[in-house]
Amino acid sequence: MLKPVILIRILSFTVVFFLLTAAARSPEIIKTKEHDIRITKIVTGLEHPWSLAFLPDGRMLVTERPGRLRMIKDDRLVAEPVAGLPPIEAHGQGGLLDVALHPNFVENQLIYFSYAGPGEGGISTEVARGKLVDNHLEDVQVIFRQQPKSKTGRHFGSRLVFDRERYLYITLGDRGERERAQRPDDHAGSVIRLHDDGRTPADNPFVGKEGWKPEKFTLGNRNIQGAALHPRTGELWAHEHGPQGGDEINVIRAGVNYGWPVITYGVNYVIGTPIGEGTKKPGMAQPLYYWVPSIAPSGMTFYSGDRFPRWRGDLFVGALKNRMLVRLSLDGEQVVGEERFLNDVIGRIRDVRTGPDGFIYLLTDENDGALVRLEPVN
């Protein structure tokens, strides 16, 4: 039989070990200005995930930039990728990019996805749709191809957003060829507006205008990689990468020229010389908000859930640079406050979504990328 002193020491050691082990396993609590949060890692092993969509039955779709569409069921990654995708060119910043559900998904099971597609002249952003049946796509149709194609590996965009009237908006980059963003006969550097089947709406701003691509809704955009509908107004908000500084947030409106590369708050990489004609010019829109230096914005979402009541109505933007999440407080179309957190906590944040459960979900753009969930600490 152990002596009482030895027994007490053993029990004390056991209690201390248990407490230390439990502390090590407990989720880290992160304090922000309005809410204390914790991070729950749901899935790992994703290769450069780019976008996330929530299915009505609780499953989730995640795109991987190398060209795979993955299903998550019961917080587990389904081993086999979703089958039936068209040819995808994983080149530079391109590959499989955004994914979105048709507004009538419950009835038609249609999903939409953007990707870098090969063709005559090189590659460009394309958009296709298909019917999701179990773990494969049927009746896949390409409904949009950015023209002309080129051989660069930069600035593909691309976010897909349906508005309340069920028009589809496609955000495009300038493909690293900046002058294309001001060309009327070029899709690059613009926002595209289509019917859900790819037809051009008759009231698009440049329909019937000689020399203009009728699908264009805007021009003068450098590289839009975040877009979301404002929960109150229903308008499309988007952000775009500036060069060295000059990342912008804009409200996307018909026929507006957002200025790139004629006006910008950024400068040329490395050498820091000015770009274009300055920061303002008549007939070109000023950004609602901009960052100098750049934060390299990624996905974004307006928070409208119930889990974080003091965040309701705020705009959340992922930032690849400094690996952080940015929260913007809004008063109408004015940014009245900015908070940055999660700096270097989870990695490069690629997508930001408000889930149907009211939590905030993030994807990390890594070789071993993850889907994580932000939860309040009550």
Per residue in 92-133, pLDDT (tens digit) is: 999 999 999 999 999 999 999 999 999 999 999 999 999 999
Q: Tell me the C-alpha distance between 289 and 306, whole Å.
A: 27
Domains of the chain: 35-376 (2.120.10.30)
Average pLDDT, integer, range 249-264? 98
25, pLDDT greater than 50: no
Average pLDDT, integer, range 32-41? 97
Average pLDDT, integer, range 350-374? 98
10, pLDDT greater than 60: no
5, pLDDT greater than 70: no
Per residue in 159-181, pLDDT (tens digit) is: 999 999 999 999 999 999 999 99
Full-model pTM? 0.92
DSSP code of 285?
Answer: P
Catalytic residue among 35, 48, 102, 155: 155
pLDDT given at position 270? 86
pLDDT given at position 27? 56
Q: Tell me the C-alpha distance between 158 and 172, whole Å.
A: 5
Average pLDDT, integer, range 200-205? 98
Per residue in 278-316, pLDDT (tens digit) is: 999 999 999 999 999 999 999 999 999 999 999 999 999
Identify whether 155 is a catalytic site residue: yes
Asked if 140 and 84 count as a contact pair (C-beta separation under 8 A), the reply is: yes
pLDDT given at position 357? 97
Length of the chain: 378
Q: Tell me the C-alpha distance between 246 and 292, whole Å.
A: 6
